[in-house]
A and B are shown apart, each in its own frame.
Chain A
Amino acid sequence: MSNKEDILKRYRANVREKYNMPDLSDIAAIRYPDPLVQFIKMTESVGGRVIEIKPGQDFNMLVKELYPDAKEIASNLPEVTIATKNPDTIGQARDLNGTDVGIIRGQFGVAENACVWIPQTMKEKAICFISENLVILLPKSQIVNNMHEAYQRIEFDKEYDGYGTFISGPSKTADIAQVLVMGAQAARSATVLLLPE
């Protein structure tokens, strides 16, 4: 007998009483009068930053202003005109090390905890973590209230269908004496640029 069958058989034999799946449709999950306002508030509280892009404004200029010393900017997005590296055409993932600013797209944000759903839409997902500063482009109409709504609608990319992540603010740790420090192993800052319709 294979290990799988052996383990499953033993488990099955040892289960005593069986319990039914509860109804999850009646969860009275939190909703907000204005999810966008809550999303902005939460993003700031987890150490991130939110900037609204006005209609007609070029966010490329804004990124340049926000990170005047940035030499390496990575992105595979056609609307990003200031990229110096492309995670789709780079030789190896590790070549993205040294990226000052990585610019990626988020699908939607979650008001209750500032999570942004980011399915992998590039060949090397390292860009989302290895960049010193992360910039996420997010259409401002795409904010859901809570994670129940979020998990109803997450989708993976058709081409890069192996990975997706929720990101809420910059990488952080409190592992040294419980002091909160931003910038543990991944991006040291996270900025969400809210795009107009």
Chain B
Amino acid sequence: MSTQHSKAAKEFLKNQTYAKWHDATFWAVRSKRDNMAYGLDEWEQLREKASAIKRHTITHLDEYLDQFATNAEKNGCIVHWAKDAEEFNMIVLDILTQHNVKKIVKSKSMLTEECEMNPYLEKHGIEVIETDLGERIIQLKGQKPSHIVMPAIHLNHDDVGELFEEKLGSEKGNHEPTYLTYVARLSLRNEFLTADAGMTGGNFGIAQTGDIVVCTNEGNADMSTSCPKLHIAAIGLEKIIPNYDCLAVFQRMLCRAGTGQPTTTYTSHFRKARPTAHPMHIILVDNGRSEWIGNPKHWESLKCIRCGSCMNTCPVYRRSGGYSYSYFIPGPIGINLGMLRDVKQHSGNVSACTLCLSCQAVCPVKVNLGDQIYLWRQQLDDFGTANKQKKMMCRGMSMVYGSEGIYNLGTSLAHWANIIPSPLINCGLNPWADGHKMMTFPKRPFHKLIKDLEK
């Protein structure tokens, strides 16, 4: 009966020490977020406004995209439109080839993960260097991010220390985070200075000014665009917002919700290339978004600003880790975006939810994440991805609960199950016994006890 997610989670839970650390670490981030939220009387008002701005913007996105592109072009940028991942990758490669680029430094971008850009560029002979420390670590390790804001959270300092010994020649046995960060700094500094192009994602695009706004703590987006002569910014359609007044709302919430900081260290506005560089390229990427807006139950997932707070608070994410999900974005928002992407491939994730709704209680833009997961579950049978065992059980249960006679017979006989020897009942054939012991059935069922009391 296990779904793909729970099977994968079993692997994660084998290392209990790490699993406990993971859970506690994310709960600490959630608590930091709470401190930030409680520190502002207007926090809930901001959430309301943020949600309403996003609802408005994504239902008028055609107008705002046009305005954004017009202004960006007026600023001197070259704007490209990519309908899907393949087209996006080709556009990037084309720009790089035109400028004879051999090496590119890039800041973190979930969009480039979504489009699997790095392997595509590497296949075409371009060296791609991730410059966010977490992204760099997993790139050196040959892995994918396990969290959208903290991509290397599944590795501890010994894992990173050993990796750096091998790849960056750090001191043997020195696994102190400050030292390791310094080693990475020196190595990345060299990359920044020698790269031919820099690439950034974009947290926001401002329709009124044509700005691409990038928020980082490390300053790596700014370093990536300060030395190389070429800047390419890649941004999903839904990241465009109307103006600075709206940006103020999101800027205040993004980092408070995501990491519990009052702001990221850098909130950088890129309007055009530096005077000594080639014109800046902006690539607007659809890749499914123009279809998702038409989904009556799930279009609000497009409001997401990728802060990660839903996964930080999720009891299932905290206890199963990012790699237990089949989509590259884990947690509640990843479950929903994965289903929008491909129901056949990602239906296994929808069971990774207790419907506690903590995610939508913290989401700064009020995406109804848990409600949507519930709605996805109702559609699994139509998709042909419902679990056969669960389906059979549901049929059985509706038979039992639909008939008073069968129900009463069942509850009066249930206590006989108590005398079945434990090894027979707590075994692999009984999925309910997986992870916990079976209950003891009472001799007298509850409804009989109540009737006796009423006499």
Contacts and interface: CB of A to CB of B under 8 A. Distances in A.
Interface string A105-121: 00000001111000010
Contacts of A123: 274-276
Contacts, number: 265
Contacts of B293: 11, 14-16
B133 A184 contact: yes
Interface in B188-217: 188-189, 192-193, 217
A97 B153 contact: no
Interface string A82-125: 00000000001110010000000000000011110000100111
B269 interface: yes
Interface string A23-56: 0100111100000000000100110000000000
B223 interface: yes
Given A7-B290, A8-B62, A184-B220, A22 B274 contact: no
B181 A125 contact: no
Contacts of A165: 222, 266-269
Contacts of A6: 81, 83
Interface stretch (A65-73, A135-143, A148-156): A148-156
A75 B188 CA distance: 24
B185 to A, nearest CB: 6
B280 to A, nearest CB: 8
A175 B249 contact: no
Nearest to B244: A151
Interface residues of A, number: 77
Interface residues of B, number: 95
B266 A167 contact: yes
Contacts of A193: none
A79 interface: no
B23 interface: no
Contacts of B244: 151-152, 154
Contacts of B422: none
B52 A177 contact: no
Nearest to A183: B185
14 contacts: A3-B87, A15-B293, A22-B52, A94-B193, A112-B252, A120-B274, A147-B263, A152-B245, A163-B271, A164-B269, A171-B218, A176-B157, A185-B131, A187-B219
Interface of B: 25, 28, 40-42, 45-46, 48-49, 52-53, 55-56, 59-62, 65-66, 69, 75-76, 80-83, 87, 131-134, 137, 150-153, 155-157, 160, 177-178, 180-182, 185, 188-189, 192-193, 217-220, 222-223, 226-227, 237, 242, 244-249, 251-252, 259, 261-276, 280, 284, 286, 289-291, 293-294, 296, 299
Given A10-B291, A21-B56, A173-B134, 19 more contacts: A3-B81, A7-B237, A7-B290, A11-B290, A21-B242, A22-B56, A92-B227, A123-B274, A129-B219, A130-B226, A160-B274, A163-B270, A165-B266, A165-B268, A173-B181, A175-B132, A184-B185, A185-B189, A186-B265
